[in-house]
Amino acid sequence: MGAPSALPLLLLLACSWAPGGANLSQDDSQPWTSDETVVAGGTVVLKCQVKDHEDSSLQWSNPAQQTLYFGEKRALRDNRIQLVSSTPHELSISISNVALADEGEYTCSIFTMPVRTAKSLVTVLGIPQKPIITGYKSSLREKETATLNCQSSGSKPAAQLTWRKGDKELHGDQTRVQEDPNGKTFTVSSSVSFQVTREDDGASIVCSVNHESLKGADRSTSQRIEVLYTPTALIRPEPAHPREGQKLLLHCEGRGNPVPQQYLWVKEGSEPPLKMTQESALIFPFLNKSDSGTYGCTATSNMGSYTAYFTLNVNDPSPVPSSSSTYHAIIGGIVAFIVFLLLILLIFLGHYLIRHKGTYLTHEAKGSDDAPDADTAIINAEGGQSGGDDKKEYFI
């Protein structure tokens, strides 16, 4: 049972020890290349390498089997094709200004026995043209539907088209693909439809083409659209809080497309209308209490009209401070500050005197205990004098 199972292992070891057994898994004389992708108009480098050249030269041929280079020798008169490197182990050439016709399978050969070859597939990318937007003819009215078409030719493989409005993506139809007459490139197209609003006035609708040949570069076209819509208006007072006696302007700020060309001012409860003009401001040269009330401004364009209202309340006149009163106020403030400082100084001074006066009275009280009373001193003085007189009379 053990011998038959060991036989395949022995045969494998024998093959590995046989002369030239290493060549069973690889051929050192076999050249190798790589597939290349290039953008039309660019440059591609074809590189062929071999480990064991067996004293033979490498050769490059085009898809039509025309020899381009044999070793370092040019075989085809095409200035776009240049030699990059030629050694016994490598042959590299470059093709500049590549065209769609250059696409195909290039062959690297080495003339050993037998002849060995390697293939390199060159893929040429067709660059899509800048897209073209059609379908926009004139201004649209609010809530109408806009339909735009976008088309780009020359891409290979077929490109993809996307839509956006400003920074917002628009979902258009699926990209349609059609082969160009040259049989190599494609024309792609797409459509988008959406209902316009007044916010779309002046918006840019962008069609972008996405393709690997662009390598992330932006290739797009924009179409600015105009939307016509009814006007709106807002009344703004100047000043914001008017007082009696002031000059007041009521600005009627109209917006729309087209911009309102006529403004009609009315005051509720007053007939006829106050003013009809192309200017949007209502002016009160000298404001009175009687001017209080609700005012209406109707802004009109050929798309319609809109009326805005504003309630005017005239406040009492505010006293205007004179320069002399301002000066007196400043002086009063300075005087008050000085008086405040003096009061603080007097408080500290009084506190100081009270503390030191208490100390002085204490010392004075201690001194009076040792000294004779003033009345006693006077009596003694008088007594001494009378005693002397008696003594004098005695001696006589």
Residues 301-353: tens digit of each pLDDT: 999 999 999 999 998 886 555 455 667 778 888 988 899 899 898 888 888 88
Cβ atoms < 10 Å from Cβ of 289 = 10
* Stronger pLDDT, 11 or 147, i.e. the higher one: 147
* Range name among 47-51, 202-206, 368-372 with the lowest pLDDT average: 368-372
Q: What is the mean pLDDT of residues 257-261?
A: 94
Quote the pLDDT of residue 244.
Answer: 92
Quote the pLDDT of residue 105.
Answer: 97
Q: What is the mean pLDDT of residues 245-270?
A: 93
Are residues 215 and 140 located together in one domain of the fold? yes
| Ramachandran quadrant class, 251 (left: phi over 0; alpha: psi -120 to 50; beta: rest) | beta
pLDDT for 91 beyond 90: yes
Are residues 215 and 145 located together in one domain of the fold? yes
Can you say how many angstroms the Cα of residue 230 is from the centroid of all Cα atoms in its chain? 33
- Domain-located, residue 266: yes
Are residues 166 and 206 located together in one domain of the fold? yes
The residue from 229, 252, 283 where one domain ends is 229
Quote the pLDDT of residue 275.
Answer: 77
Q: Rounded CA gap, 162 and 155, in Å?
A: 15
Are residues 187 and 209 located together in one domain of the fold? yes
Summarize pLDDT for 14-53 with one digit per residue, the tens: 333 333 333 333 588 999 999 999 999 999 999 999 999 8
* Range name among 50-54, 283-287, 366-370 with the lowest pLDDT average: 366-370
Q: Rounded CA gap, 258 and 225, in Å?
A: 14
* Residues whose CB is less than 8 angstroms from the CB of residue 244 and which lie 6 or more positions away in sequence, other chains included: 287, 288, 289, 314, 315, 316, 317
Quote the pLDDT of residue 23.
Answer: 36
Question: DSSP letters along 96-145, please?
Answer: -S--GGG-EEEEEEE-SSS-EEEEEEEEEEBPPPPPEEE---S-EETTPE
Quote the pLDDT of residue 325.
Answer: 60
Summarize pLDDT for 183-192 with one digit per residue, the tens: 999 999 999 9
Are residues 207 and 246 located together in one domain of the fold? no
- Domain-located, residue 238: yes
Write the CATH number for 241: 2.60.40.10
Are residues 151 and 213 located together in one domain of the fold? yes
For the chain, how many structural domains are there in total?
3
- Domain-located, residue 167: yes
- Domain-located, residue 185: yes
- Domain-located, residue 322: no
Are residues 256 and 225 located together in one domain of the fold? no
Quote the pLDDT of residue 186.
Answer: 97
Quote the pLDDT of residue 7.
Answer: 37
Are residues 94 and 41 located together in one domain of the fold? yes
Q: What is the mean pLDDT of residues 223-244?
A: 95
pLDDT band for position 273 (cuts 50, 70, 90): confident
Quote the pLDDT of residue 362.
Answer: 53
The domain of 184 spans 132-229
* Stronger pLDDT, 279 or 145, i.e. the higher one: 145
- Domain-located, residue 338: no
Are residues 184 and 201 located together in one domain of the fold? yes
Q: Rounded CA gap, 315 and 65, in Å?
A: 99
Quote the pLDDT of residue 24.
Answer: 32
- Domain-located, residue 25: no
The residue from 229, 245, 279 where one domain ends is 229
Q: Rounded CA gap, 296 and 44, in Å?
A: 75
Quote the pLDDT of residue 324.
Answer: 57
Q: Mean pLDDT score of the chain, rounded to an integer? A: 84
Are residues 119 and 140 located together in one domain of the fold? no
Tokens of 177: 């693909």
pLDDT for 63 beyond 90: yes
pLDDT band for position 359 (cuts 50, 70, 90): low
Q: What is the mean pLDDT of residues 49-76?
A: 94
Are residues 224 and 234 located together in one domain of the fold? no
The residue from 281, 312, 343 where one domain ends is 312
- Domain-located, residue 373: no
Are residues 207 and 236 located together in one domain of the fold? no
Quote the pLDDT of residue 384.
Answer: 43
